[in-house]
Amino acid sequence: MAFNTLLVEDKDGIRRITLNRPDKLNALNRETLTELHAAFSDAATDASVRVVVLTGAGPKAFVAGADIAEMNGLSPAQARDFSAHGQALMTRIERLGKPVIARLNGFALGGGLELAMACHLRIAADTAKVGQPEINLGLVPGFGGTQRLLRLAGRGVALELCLLGAPINAERAAGLGVVTKVVPADQLDAEVDALASQLANSAPLALRGILDAIVLGGEAPIDSGLDHETQVFAVTFSTQDMKEGTDAFLARRKPSFTGR
C-alpha cells in the first residue's frame, strides 16, 4: 500500500509506521489522518504483524500537533468532522489488539501527544517534550487529549497541561505517568527495537487479551472488568500458545509462540 505522508516497513513481525512530513514537523492534516487509518486497519488484519512502532521522521518531532494552516480555515461543522476523524483514529489505535509503541524522538504536542497517548507504550528520548498547547490558540484539544490524559495521569495533570498549555520535558512526563520510559536520545532506537522484539516474540492471543482487558475492561465498572478478565483468562486455555508456554516453562526452555 502506497502512502504520501507515511513510510511503512516490516521486519521480524514488527511494523514500523513513520509519519513523513518532517518539513511540517509531521503535523497531522486530513490526508495524514486518513492514511494512518488505512495503515492501522491493514496492521490489524495482517497476521504477520505482531507489534507496531509509530514514530515521526526527522530529528525534531514525533508529531508537533495538528496542521494549524489547514485548521485555520475550518468552519465549526468542518472542525467537528475533523475532530471526529482524529478521535476515530485514536480509538482504532488504542483498540488495535496488538501492542503499539510510540517512539517519541522529539516534540509530541497537541495532536501529537493525543496520538502518543492512544498507543499502549510511549518511549521517549530525553530531549523530547510533550504537551497540550491548544489553549494558546484559543482551542480545546480535539483528538481525545482531555479524556486520555485524564485517564492516563489523573485530573490534576490533565488540568495543568490543558489549562496552562506549557510543554513539559520527558523526565517530568515519565514521573507523571504520561510517558512509559525515558532514555538518552542516542539509545532510543536500541530501546524501542528491544521492546518491540520482546513483544513480537510474546504470545499474540495473550497480548490481545491483556489489551482488551485493560483498554476495554478498564472503562467498565470493576465487576464487569473482572468478569471480562476471567473470560479472557479462560479462553487462553484453549490456545496452543498456552500449552507451548507452560510446557516450555516446565522444561526450562524458551517458548515459541505461533498465535494459535
The catalytic site residues sit at: 114, 134
Strand pairing partners for 53? 16, 101
Give the separation between CA 118 and CA 148, rounded to whole angstroms. Answer: 8
Q: DSSP string covering 205-256, please?
A: HHHHHHHHHHHTGGGS-HHHHHHHHHHHHHHHTTSHHHHHHHHHHHHTS---
Location of C-alpha cell 507523571: 176
Give the separation between CA 194 and CA 123, rounded to whole angstroms. Answer: 12
3 closest CA partner among 43, 50, 62: 43
Per DSSP, 28 falls in state B
> Is the separation of the CB atoms in 14 and 200 below 8 Å?
yes
